[in-house]
Amino acid sequence: MIERPGTTPFGGGKMSARLFKRQIDVTERQQALQGGEGGNETGRADKWRLLRALTEAKSHYGLNDRAIALLDALASFAAERELDGAKPIIVFPSNRELSLRARGMSPATIRRHVAALVEAGLIFRRDSANGKRYCRRGDHGAVEEAFGFDLSPLALKADEIFDLAEQAREVEKLQRSLRTEITLHQRDIAKIVEIALEEGRVGDWLDFSAQLATIRSKAARKADTELLRQTRTELNLLRSKVENTYLKALSEEEMSANDSQIERHNQNSNTDKIIESNGNEIEKSEAPQRKAMVSLARLQKICPQILDYAREGVRGWSDLIKTADLVRSMLGVSPDAWRKARAAMGEEAAAVVIAVMLERAEEIKSPGGYLRNLTAKAEAGAFSILPMLQALERKVK
């Protein structure tokens, strides 16, 4: 049986059934650990690594940064770097010392955050008969009895805290990705509406702008994952409407005059055929299923800029496709438009198109709309990447 210091709070502090149950649970777990019955649980943890993880998982425990700072200060009074929850870990700093290590935190603020840490089940108060924090040492200087704050519940929650920190990192990563997509959608919608108004294009541009403002107001800084997903979906739908409206307002010449001319020049009189780089003809309906009709070496000469975004170089088509996925996001092409392009053109051809678009980034006003237009041509069997490449190749030469 483990000897426990006082468990009820001094003075006006109230005891609760939940606090009493927690103290009993901690005592039983300590008995199990000391008896070698803890299983995989060790009850030990590096206090600074544990506090770092708790900082990431603090929302689960209802704690703020100030409460974590106070717990950090309390942990600094523990002699060992590793906390061993198999026995009470009682620290007994004076109010003055605790305030200094908590960066000048006032007594009232300390009391408030101590209460929050106790409520979260991370520390216990081990109050003496008169409420003072102190220890009694034996003849050889070892602590025989101590009253103050017990950190053993923190150590016993180590596995739980590390798991919650990992979950928090995954949520943060997902939310960061969603916010990036949202920002790109917002930027592109706003810019397309702006250029459409400047050019006097036909369309409900003011209404689109109002819809964008409404959606933007929902994506608050503290928005949760579900709200961010909903906002992304709404923006994706609005973006499609805006791009399609803008595309309908463009003439075919405006979309790609040079490409159209070169394509007409390179296709033979049979409109159902496409010329491959080796001179062979294939049916247009077969084009999306075929490999890209250009060697990787030739593509790298014509479109060198995409190589700057290849994290590990471009050793094969799979590397180019991964890099194109990164570049399309930078250009503002939505995941939906990219997915449809890959399905219609084939992955390699779609990656080539992104490489070409990167080279022509300054000329293409609406990258998402431009890709959707080419995707529609590919779906109709009326698209080839060769004219695009040949046009760039002439510029290079």
pLDDT of 285 above 70:
no
Q: Where are the domains of the chain?
A: 17-156, 171-249, 255-396
Q: In the prediction, which pLDDT does 14 show?
A: 60
Nearest to residue 357, comparing CAs of 330, 380, 336? Answer: 330
Q: Give Cα separations from 81 to 47, 78, 201 (angstroms).
A: 6, 7, 68
Q: Is 82 helix (H, G, I), strand (E, B) or coil?
A: strand
The average pLDDT across 160-176 equals 93
| Greatest Cα pair distance in the chain | 106
Share of the chain above pLDDT 70, in %: 80
Please report the pLDDT score of residue 262 as a whole number.
35
Q: Which residue has the higher pLDDT, 210 or 252?
A: 210
CA 129, distance to chain mean position in Å, is 50
Are 353 and 292 a contacting pair, CB within 8 Å? no
Locus of tokens 């003011």: 206
Whole-angstrom CA distances from 228 to 39, 176, 181, 234, 275 are 41, 10, 10, 10, 46
CA distances from 235 to 138, 229, 239, 370 (A): 70, 10, 6, 18
Average pLDDT over residues 128-133: 74
pLDDT of residue 255: 52
Give the integer Cα–Cα distance in Å for 335 and 303.
Answer: 22
pTM: 0.54
CA distance 82 to 175: 33
- CA atoms of 178 and 172, how far apart (whole Å): 10
Instruction: Tell me the two tokens of residue 330.
Output: 């930078």
For residue 258 the two structure tokens come to 């040079």
Measured distance CA(293)–CA(284) in Å, rounded? 13
Q: Could you say which of 1.20.1440, 3.40.50, 1.10.10, 1.20.272 is the CATH number of the domain covering 17-156?
A: 1.10.10
Give the separation between CA 139 and CA 143, rounded to whole angstroms. Answer: 10
Using one digit for the tens of pLDDT, what is the confidence trace for 49-72?
999 999 999 999 999 999 999 999
pLDDT for residue 324: 93
**Among 90-99, 102-111, 170-179, 210-219, which is the least confidently predicted range?**
210-219
CA end-to-end distance (rounded Å), the chain? 87
pLDDT (average), residues 302-324: 89
The pLDDT tens digits of the residues spanning 192-237 come to 888 888 778 888 989 999 999 898 887 766 778 899 999 999 999 9
Asked if 366 and 244 touch (Cβ cutoff 8 Å), the reply is no
Q: What gap in Å lies between CA 244 and CA 242, rounded to an integer? A: 6
Judged by average pLDDT, the poorest of 215-224, 252-261, 288-297, 308-317 is: 252-261
What pLDDT is recorded for position 21?
78
Average pLDDT, the chain: 81
- Percentage of residues of the chain with pLDDT beyond 90: 36
Q: Of how many residues is the chain composed?
A: 397
Report which of residues 36 and 255 the model is more confident about: 36
Q: How far, rounded to the nearest angstrom, does the alpha carbon of residue 41 sit from its chain's CA centroid?
A: 31
Q: Which of the residue ranges 32-36, 37-41, 219-223, 256-260 would you say has the lowest mean pLDDT?
A: 256-260
Per-residue pLDDT for 274 more than 60? no
Say which residues have a Cβ less than 8 Å from residue 155's Cβ, sequence separation at least 6: 43, 44, 45, 47, 50, 83, 84, 85, 89
Nearest alpha carbon to residue 209 among 188, 231, 193: 193
- Three-class SS state of 127: coil
Taking only the tens place, the pLDDT of each residue in 335-393 is 889 999 999 999 999 999 999 999 888 888 888 888 998 999 888 887 888 778 878 87
CA 375, CA 369: separation in Å to the nearest integer?
A: 10
Contact 354, 339 (CB under 8 A): no
Residue 396: pLDDT over 60: yes
